[in-house]
Amino acid sequence: MGKVGLGLAVGCAVVTCAIAAALVSHRVRRRWRWGQAVTLVRELEEACDTPVGRLRQVVDAMAVEMHAGLASDGGSKLKMLLTFIDNLPDGTEEGTYYALDLGGTNFRVLRVQLGGKGSMMSHKVESQPIPQELMTGTSEELFNFIASILKRFVQSENDGFQQLPDDRKDLGFTFSFPVKQLSISSGVLIKWTKGFSIEDAVGKDIAQCLNEAMSKIGLNMRVAALVNDTVGTLALGHYNDEDTVAAVIIGTGTNACYLERTDAIIKCQGLLTNSGAMVVNMEWGNFWSSHLPRTSYDIALDDESPNRNEQGFEKMISGMYLGDIVRRVLYRMAEESDIFLDPAKNLSVPFILRTPLMANMLEDDSPDLTQVGRVLEEHLKISRVPLKVRRLVARVCDIVTRRAARLAAAGIVGMLKKTGRDGSGGVESGRTRGKPRRTVVAVEGGLYIGYTMFKQHEVLGGLDISIPNQMEPLNTKLYEKYKNLKKRKFFAEDEWNRKRDTDLRSYQSAMEDLIEEMKNANERLRAELYSFQEQYANCEKSLLEESQKSKELSDEVGRLQNLLLKKNDISDRSVMSSPCTIAGVMSTEIPKSLPRQKTPDLCDETSPIQNKGAATRTYDNHKVETKVPDCCRRNMVSSSDASEDCCNCVFQTLMKLLVGMDFSVNRQTESLCLLVVHKMSGYSFSLTWIPLEGELMYRVSSLGTLERVALDWMKEDVIFSTAMCRVFFERVSRVTGHC
């Protein structure tokens, strides 16, 4: 048993070591997965890196593409569309002006009163949603609806404006969809975007459609200028500051326009303007260059987009796509490193992470990054995110945002370089002689206005590119220092994690060796245990065989004893054939079908106490004739009140003298039954004759005061042959003699 216990102990130790090894292995795997996530982020940062050298390459590529787009239609990824606008507001304008802005699911109507000198006396704006059915209906239904809203706006009462009702009013129409401009007040729709799908409007003059709708309802107004939102931003910027020469929209989408000299527009030779310049709509969202830091996530996004291989620049810097780029990075991290405790199924849903949510996570400056955790839990259904994982998520947002902002800054500098206003002093067409002029770029859009980190990165990127050449070494040094500090801050614990992983692997290896050794010891002890078990089984089998033999031998001894007792019984009868042998002698007449049983004779036929008659009784369905003395027969047939006569029976008196007990016959049973009582101790029992077996059955009624000294067999039912009567009463007398 000692070896068995040792085997169990070793088994438990092996199980414990296995559990410990599993925990260590799980921890090592988690560390390895965390290392995988950190590696992915590091690879993303390297792929999105925008050092000054690369940004300058993007600037040069932008300028080259602008030249190509101005030379011919289709000669460049940049469309370089003419707007036919050669004069921009300068703040001297006076009077009441109306404007209509249609660029999405809502359109806005504006009325403004200008007082000259750049002052705005009053203005009123009304926004109106466009019903869904009109976005897919006909052009007539859409422009009729817009004209009716515009008429109601113009005719609104108590507006505080002074106007002559019969004067025709000019309307500025901002239409933010792709249009081929024909003149300052007309343009043909190229295609719909942003959920609109009105097929009969494609190829039509949008301004003419609106003029017809206004004329139909009696609104005395005409489209004086058809522009897009970028040109509108340039006009507003120039109204506030006449040094504004370019405008950029960075919102859901992105675009840029600038003021170009007419002699530089080669594809329209002979074009004359009053100012010698014209606003050019670049449509720079379609810009592309091999110098752009494109990642596998950008490629996957482009492949799954409806406009594959188009708007490449827009897909890297605009608000519509930045959030989804971050989502793709997080989804790959979740798949390859499993850093999120909860399943990240929602990360597989395209565009579920919108750019405003990404901005909220990046601008979270709380110690435990509460906002990052809230966005992950509420919008991506990822809860219980550890702090270090939240920091990693914020880092991914920063990498994607920083690349977008610096690329936007490079685009702006490229546009300025084309006009000779980048401060580099290069020989660009249209540059001014002498000291560089002050240059203002108007920037608009939800991403730029509402995203502080984007604005900061863009400003830093612009400074990196446009700083004078003599400051370039210092700038490069500062930039490299800034980049190294950012890396050191984020990956400070990376080396410590590697060292810890190495230690854990060493510990795991030692644990595995120990487990292997314990397994070998366990197997050896198991073999010994199996050997002991086999020996035990053989011994048990031998013991069972010996027990069987002993039982057979005991049965044989019992059979021989019974034969001996029967032999003694026969010899005893010859001696005990007197009336005092037992209380009655039964001479039995048994049917032939029953075996003949030996029954003791109570009296011999020649006894002087022989009775004159015989009594017949039935025992166990057998008719038995008994010859008993008159006194005993009288007791057997008398009523219960003849108990006194029973006491005078000579045989009962003789038995009482012999064994010291009172005997009586139980007449309530079918079989012959003697009731025996030891009055001194209260001990009583019954002896019932079993005719078929020729035996007596002993059954105790009460042990009385012999409870303590009675033998075990006296407390149980016992069946014995008549030959054992003498032995039986001798043993009973020994016990009752102690009373």
Quote the CA–CA distance of 543 and 553 in Å, as a whole number.
Answer: 15
In 3-state terms, what secondary structure has residue 188? Answer: strand
Please count the helices (runs of H) and the strands (runs of E) in the chain: 19, 19
Quote the CA–CA distance of 598 and 697 in Å, as a whole number.
Answer: 16
Q: For 148-253, list the strands marked E by DSSP.
A: 169-175, 179-183, 186-189, 221-227, 244-250
Active site residue 229: yes
Q: Which amino acid is at 704?
A: G
Contact status, residue 376 vs residue 418, Cβ threshold 8 Å: no
Quote the CA–CA distance of 352 and 380 in Å, as a whole number.
Answer: 8
Kindly list the distances between the CA atom of residue 595 and the CA atoms of 59, 123, 621, 692, in Å, as whole numbers in the listed order: 131, 136, 14, 7
Torsion angle, alpha carbons of 36, 38, 41, 42, to 10: -100
The alpha carbon of 392 is separated from its chain's Cα centroid by a whole number of angstroms, namely: 21
Among 76, 139, 176, 318, the active-site one is 176
Counting beta carbons within 10 angstroms of the beta carbon of residue 579, is it exposed (0 to 12), middle (13 to 18) or buried (19 or more)? buried
Quote the CA–CA distance of 494 and 525 in Å, as a whole number.
Answer: 46
Distance in angstroms between the alpha carbons of the first and the last residue of the chain: 51
Quote the CA–CA distance of 423 and 354 in Å, as a whole number.
Answer: 37
Quote the CA–CA distance of 247 and 232 in Å, as a whole number.
Answer: 9
Q: Give the H/E segment covering residue 670.
A: none
How many beta carbons lie within 10 A of that of residue 608, not counting itself?
A: 7
Quote the CA–CA distance of 271 and 274 in Å, as a whole number.
Answer: 10
Please, which residues have CB within 8 angstroms of residue 497's CB and are 6 or more apart in sequence?
A: 31, 34, 35, 38
Q: Which residue has the tokens 């060796």?
A: 513
Q: Which of 227, 231, 237 is closest to 258 using CA atoms?
A: 231
Among 42, 108, 222, 634, the active-site one is 108
H-state helical runs in 433-491: 446-450, 452-466, 472-490
Active site residue 108: yes
Torsion angle, alpha carbons of 557, 558, 563, 569, to 10: 130
Please, which residues have CB within 8 angstroms of residue 203's CB and are 6 or more apart in sequence?
A: 188, 189
Kindly list the distances between the CA atom of residue 556 and the CA atoms of 161, 236, 542, in Å, as whole numbers in the listed order: 137, 128, 21
In 3-state terms, what secondary structure has residue 603? Answer: coil
Contact status, residue 143 vs residue 269, Cβ threshold 8 Å: no
Among 101, 205, 229, 464, the active-site one is 229
Contact status, residue 695 vs residue 671, Cβ threshold 8 Å: no
Kindly list the distances between the CA atom of residue 134 and the CA atoms of 65, 147, 152, 207, 276, in Å, as whole numbers in the listed order: 38, 13, 19, 18, 41
Tokens of 146: 């817009």
Contact status, residue 720 vs residue 728, Cβ threshold 8 Å: yes
Q: Which of 514, 721, 457 is closest to 10 using CA atoms?
A: 514
Classify 488 in phi/psi space as left (phi over 0), alpha (psi -120 to 50) or beta. Answer: alpha
Q: Give the H/E segment covering residue 707.
A: none
Q: Which amino acid is at 89?
A: P
Task: Check residue 205 and report its DSSP letter.
Answer: B
Please, which residues have CB within 8 angstroms of residue 482's CB and are 6 or more apart in sequence?
A: none
Catalytic residue ranges: 108, 176, 229
